[in-house]
Structure 1
């Protein structure tokens, strides 16, 4: 076997599907012919009991697992944080390849789920009645868990974007909350002039953040038609993003502290990182990771690329899926349905999660919820409005996990050297297309 094929097989397994066939991927047989499992089958499994291993990093699932165990005393939910995002995906793919240690349930972000569905590494949940839940979810998240005729996860949350800002810092230096990205750059300049240790935000190069801002700017870099893919980071929307963000980098207005690190949490707590443009799932992370800054932070609509516009984007958002090699499928699905469609949704919402369920998203009670962490602000109104303002038509690559994994070696160089963002994006584009061609995809120029 060629060296690059061995590397790819260890990585994401797409060679298996496009070249060797799904059963050579370390997964089990295709489950498309699985017999339906009715409610009685799920109840029987819950009555019998057992252990369900769940790999997830989302903090509100801890209380959901506790509540589920109280309701079903014979079931034990073993909640494991195997890493966030790509770290977990690497661990999951290693387990799948080794056919050992695969969890029963895995948290998969929407951009990653289709890849696992393509390689038959996750179970089609239609056999458990998941397709009947379509009307329960808002269209975006529901579309994200489908691939072909299958339903490969249940939406856990969504990530319409907003601007989280430290009101205490903004008030101290008399900085107006920016409504456009140009105003955001000006706010960054004013903050740095007032306090040389403070930054408008932290950014060392993040693939999810970059694609979200491109999305909001009206860019459509990815074209996907089955196994035909194309990438173009030179459209008008991409130019809006690079022109603005290059200023932030060149003028050293963004902190060089990596996100989710101890220093990052410290910066959010002491005000030296003054804003975050991110998804509506963030409040739970503020409450658990930046406790001492409770009351300092607020939420505002995402700054616009053009004054008076009303456009947002999704950033993050996850599903819970059942890896094909996992065990206790009935128990695993019962937990996923409880967490993402049943009583667990309200538990998670109370603890700061942002729902993908339409009823909760549109309810007056949800939108009127006051967040003590944000000084009693009814932040869900801003998040819900953002969810309605996400432009349609965005697509990810069917191997976006791999593409994101090389972001730091391409675009990331713009944050640590003289490389310009436009050049970093071109490098990311070329290397991502090369990989797709190696995997057997047809590349559209």
Structure 2
């Protein structure tokens, strides 16, 4: 599965967050509060029998085959799969359509970090009444927690991104590096690599919001707390400081390649060995296979380094849900497709085509775990990644306006990567200040 960088969000995409904008997500007949509408399995089957058309906005490539298979099975249903943009580009289009009350799709792909923003603006349907609240055991804990808000379920997980260490074994062997099991060891190997080859780096980083929050998550930090419209933001917590103290050593030692992820230079570095590792989500293998073909056979996967020796704690990095906008016009039929794509046959189809599953059935199957990856010299990569999925630390929350917060990350935390302009910790505190100001402007209570 190809996961692309999160681009800067246009202002129009966050207008609906404001609590001062009333009814921004409410569709005709939409639920403005109270219990969600109840739609039975019989209602869903009747919708499939009656047929009709639905529009799905998504950029995830494995859905193309899922749509084809679904239409073969249910010939009365036409699914219009539209790539309305990746990540924030689609969110901008979706928010604009919701605000205009025109052109809203029946289903939309929404990344986990962005879901709370759409939930708060009442732009998404609570799927509890469709039976989604009974699916907890179907999914791994991280993705399942990400689609829930209060007693509601606002999407079904498509995939997940438990983190692991991807490393270039050829580079490690050449320079006598040891695969690190702790972050202190990671820094030590970064220093050793730079001494051995001044042109090589342990990894790249120019400041990425998703990576930073995932690292804080693993370190035990919980900077965000959310209770309805009351939000807490605290980047002075011990977990955050544990991460920043370690990562600042890499910044100060000039041990991070000044290369932006997903750029041409990044792909080149991954191919020629000048970027030796990535700490990233479990969706990465397909990206290496398609984007770094010159390094075929050189890369391996190992557990994510730990903050405490002998630990077994990971975090999520990336992943998406499929959700039904509140203004959707054929919700029973939309849910039938959503369930097929994420729970039923479509879950296996997507796994077979490289998506990392959020479903326990696929994650625990011998077919998945014993798969050998030629790109990784025959390694059974999924065994490492599946173990990581079981170790994701609980209790993480995103802001109800995380999409906006991430869009200003570069203006605050990003400065820490620019030759001593600020420290990483101070950059996070500046990010906190900007987020607090924005939250208050939108009507949130900030504590």
TM-score (norm 2): 0.89
Give unpaired runs (5+ residues) of structure 1: 1-6
Tell me if the contact between 2:207 and 2:417 (Cα under 8 Å) persists in the aligned partners: yes
- For residues 307 and 145 of structure 1, the distance between their equivalents in structure 2, rounded to whole angstroms, comes to 32
Residue number in structure 1 paired with 2:212: 210
- For residues 82 and 319 of structure 2, the distance between their equivalents in structure 1, rounded to whole angstroms, comes to 19
Change beyond 3 A, Cα 1:28–1:285: farther
1:19 aligns with 2:20: yes
Residue number in structure 2 paired with 1:432: 435
Residue number in structure 1 paired with 2:394: 392
Change beyond 3 A, Cα 1:363–1:90: same
Change beyond 3 A, Cα 1:40–1:371: same
Offset of 1:361 from its aligned partner? 2.2
Change beyond 3 A, Cα 1:25–1:278: same
Change beyond 3 A, Cα 1:131–1:225: closer
Change beyond 3 A, Cα 1:401–1:201: same
Change beyond 3 A, Cα 1:58–1:272: farther
Residue number in structure 2 paired with 1:4: none
- For residues 256 and 86 of structure 1, the distance between their equivalents in structure 2, rounded to whole angstroms, comes to 24
Matched residues, number: 435
| Aligned positions of 1:328-367 closer than 5 A | 328-367=330-369
Offset of 1:213 from its aligned partner? 0.5
- For residues 102 and 200 of structure 2, the distance between their equivalents in structure 1, rounded to whole angstroms, comes to 46
Tell me if the contact between 1:112 and 1:400 (Cα under 8 Å) persists in the aligned partners: yes
Residue number in structure 1 paired with 2:240: 238
Q: Deviations over 1:111-142 (max 9, x none)?
A: 22122111111112234332232332223322
Offset of 1:381 from its aligned partner? 1.8
Q: Deviations over 1:255-313 (max 9, x none)?
A: 22222233323332333322111111222322333334332211100111232222211
Q: Quick check: 32-41 or 246-255, which moved more?
A: 32-41
Residue number in structure 2 paired with 1:158: 160
Residue number in structure 1 paired with 2:122: 120
| Aligned positions of 1:135-150 closer than 5 A | 135-150=137-152
- For residues 83 and 352 of structure 1, the distance between their equivalents in structure 2, rounded to whole angstroms, comes to 21
Q: Tell me the SS of whatever aligns to 1:19.
A: coil
Give unpaired runs (5+ residues) of structure 2: 1-9
Offset of 1:27 from its aligned partner? 4.8
Tell me if the contact between 1:138 and 1:357 (Cα under 8 Å) persists in the aligned partners: yes
Tell me if the contact between 1:200 and 1:254 (Cα under 8 Å) persists in the aligned partners: yes
Tell me if the contact between 2:24 and 2:121 (Cα under 8 Å) persists in the aligned partners: no
2:426 is aligned, of 411, 423, 426, to: 423
2:83 is aligned, of 81, 84, 101, to: 81
Tell me if the contact between 2:12 and 2:96 (Cα under 8 Å) persists in the aligned partners: no
Q: Deviations over 1:324-361 (max 9, x none)?
A: 23344333222211110011111122222222222222
- For residues 138 and 391 of structure 2, the distance between their equivalents in structure 1, rounded to whole angstroms, comes to 20
TM-score (norm 1): 0.90
Residue number in structure 2 paired with 1:3: none
